[in-house]
Amino acid sequence: MSKTIFNLRIWFVAIILLIASSAKVNADNSSENTKTPKYIFFFIGDGMGLSQANTAEAYLGALNKSNGIKRLNFTTLPNQGFYTTYASDRFITGSAAAGTALSSGEKTSISTIGMDAKRQKPLKSVAEVAKEKGYKVGIVTSVSIDHATPASFYAHQPTRNMYYDISLDLSKSGFNYFAGGGFKHPEGDGKIDENNTMANFGMGADQKLAKKKPNSLEVAKARGYTIINTLDDFKALQKGDDKIISIAPRLAGGKSLPYSIDQDEKTDISLEDFTRKGIELLDNKKGFFMMIEAGKIDWACHANDAATVIKEVLQLDKAVSAALEFYKKHPKETLILIGGDHETGGMALGFSGSHYQSAFSLLQNQNLSYEKFAQLVKEYRESTKQPDVNYGLELVKKHFGLGNEEKNLKLNEFELQQLKDAFEKSMIYEYKMSKDDQFYLLYGSYDPFTVTACHILSQKAGIGWTSFSHTASPIPIRSIGVGAEQFTGFFDNTDVSKRLKKLLE
């Protein structure tokens, strides 16, 4: 009997080992047999976590008079996963460290672009690997083209604030297509202030230069690039045009595209337009890699401006739709990824004051971004010596709907007092952020009257905010196409680039 039991145990162990070995072989073969995608789209929603996309879906659902959601194109993709975002030296990451992790497959320190955590060694990005493999490469963004996330795919600099050196790296890369915002500091950075984070969100004036350096746009021309900055020249671009830097004809703060909510369809170029043009220019027999960043989701989340966030997410979805149209023509050769670098604002589909109620359709009453509204407040402050709070309340009513009973946006006494207090602070001085300021938790780094209006409308819609900064929430990634199964499950942000590079190899 004991010998029989012993033999059974031997057979049992052998079967387990055989199954494990077979599973490993199958897994290895699955990875090895995955074709290399010929066309790769990597969309990054800067600041976009699960809530930002879901809020946009809830908003669309509410407009259709539903208590549910209306799905976005990119949330319906068949392969879904999540990844962690922490940097090497901080749990809550920043765009430079997160962008570098997504582009290179290695962790780095806060504010570092395309280099290791000690800022000593350059890290090769997946875009650079693609170029070496013969792919054409495109980098598209709604913020300045030398901003942290796009820079992580072509630059190698100790800090994201070295915009001038980053712009030189841009033309040194030899990539085929750059599009979106302009160059922040094409003639030099001046004194670099690592603590001036608001300049990275398109706020605040740039420093004057004591001595100008060679204009980096002119350097790019000397390296063979063509600079496009008019709508007509953009439309004239056609297949075969190469080494293009296409800058939007109208730029907002921080040399970025205007927010989608502020754009004019007849005169502005959208993220979707830049994406479609990229497909046209980059399509070739050897394939292409294109990174497309919706960078101003992050900026609007920093300002806790829910309506503007939604419009930026919807604009990203339109850009994704362009890629999906291409995918339908090349389903066996194309990979599409949609992720984010981190979540911003701690956006929540629920607010303590609204209990279980939501009214997302109220957000349609906002007709401009916080940026444009803050400019109106500034112009009024500078044009009058005796500010009238009633003028401010009418301004809020006109652009946010707040105070309009017919639109179900009646203000209660507490909300009205919040606006009056904030208006008084906005009229006394141009508000400057200090994290030690007693009002920081109310207004963050923003104009008090503007951010208060954004908060009240968010709250009435049933949306809460926990921060004016980033959070450490894991980020969803959606995918379809060749190799998309490699991006399911729960993993780290560095694994995205590692798996992309493996597919390319």
- Which residues have a Cβ under 8 Å from the Cβ of 81 and sit 6 or more positions away? 476, 477, 479, 487, 488, 489, 490, 491
Q: Which residue has the tokens 């490993």?
A: 24
- Do 156 and 284 lie in one domain? The reply is yes
Torsion angle, alpha carbons of 84, 85, 88, 93, to 10:
-150
- Do 332 and 473 lie in one domain? The reply is yes
User: Is residue 462 left, alpha or beta, with left meaning phi > 0 and alpha meaning psi from -120 to 50?
Assistant: left
Spatial distance between the Cα atoms of 463 and 304, rounded to a whole number of angstroms: 10
Spatial distance between the Cα atoms of 280 and 138, rounded to a whole number of angstroms: 11
- In our burial notation (b when 16+ CB lie closer than 10 A, e otherwise), range 206-233 reads eeeeeeeeeebbebbeeeebebbbebee
Nearest to 181 by CA among 218, 140, 219: 140
- Do 319 and 430 lie in one domain? The reply is no
One-character DSSP codes across 316-340: HHHHHHHHHHHHHHSTTTEEEEEEE
In a domain, 475, yes or no: yes
pLDDT at site 23 = 42
pLDDT category of residue 277 using cuts at 50, 70 and 90:
very high
- Do 126 and 242 lie in one domain? The reply is yes
Average pLDDT taken over every residue of the chain:
92
pLDDT category of residue 17 using cuts at 50, 70 and 90:
very low
- Do 475 and 396 lie in one domain? The reply is no
Give me the number of domains the chain comprises: 2
What is the CATH classification number for the domain harbouring 65?
A: 3.40.720.10
pLDDT at site 438 = 79
- Do 217 and 256 lie in one domain? The reply is yes
18-65 pLDDT tens trace: 444 444 434 443 444 579 999 999 999 999 999 999 999 999 999 999
- Do 423 and 332 lie in one domain? The reply is no
141-191 pLDDT tens trace: 999 999 999 999 999 999 999 999 999 999 999 999 999 999 999 999 977
In a domain, 120, yes or no: yes
Whether 4 shows a pLDDT value over 60: the answer reads no
pLDDT at site 505 = 87
Q: Of 13-22, 113-122, 435-444, which one has max mean pLDDT?
A: 113-122
- Do 413 and 342 lie in one domain? The reply is no
188-242 pLDDT tens trace: 997 766 656 677 777 766 667 878 999 999 999 999 999 999 999 999 999 999 9
Spatial distance between the Cα atoms of 121 and 417, rounded to a whole number of angstroms: 54
Mean pLDDT of 413-420: 98
In a domain, 31, yes or no: no
Of 98-107, 171-180, 351-360, 438-447, the range with the lowest mean pLDDT is 438-447
Mean pLDDT of 280-298: 98
Mean pLDDT of 390-419: 98
- Do 288 and 411 lie in one domain? The reply is no
- Do 245 and 224 lie in one domain? The reply is yes
In a domain, 9, yes or no: no
| Contact between 163 and 185 (Cβ < 8 Å) | yes
Mean pLDDT of 135-143: 98
In a domain, 98, yes or no: yes
Nearest to 301 by CA among 56, 98, 445, 469: 469
Mean pLDDT of 405-421: 97
Q: Which domain holds residue 485?
A: 39-347+469-504
Nearest to 282 by CA among 179, 395, 206, 362: 179
Whether 453 shows a pLDDT value over 50: the answer reads yes
- Do 330 and 361 lie in one domain? The reply is no
pLDDT at site 210 = 78
In a domain, 454, yes or no: yes
Q: Which residue has the tokens 């693609």?
A: 130
- Which residues have a Cβ under 8 Å from the Cβ of 290 and sit 6 or more positions away? 40, 41, 42, 137, 138, 139, 140, 177, 275, 278, 279, 282
> Structure tokens of 362?
């109220």
67-111 pLDDT tens trace: 899 999 999 999 999 999 999 999 999 999 999 999 999 999 999
Read off φ and ψ for residue 342, nearest 5 degrees: -175, 170
Mean pLDDT of 328-347: 98
pLDDT at site 30 = 43
Spatial distance between the Cα atoms of 255 and 201, rounded to a whole number of angstroms: 10
- Do 365 and 281 lie in one domain? The reply is no
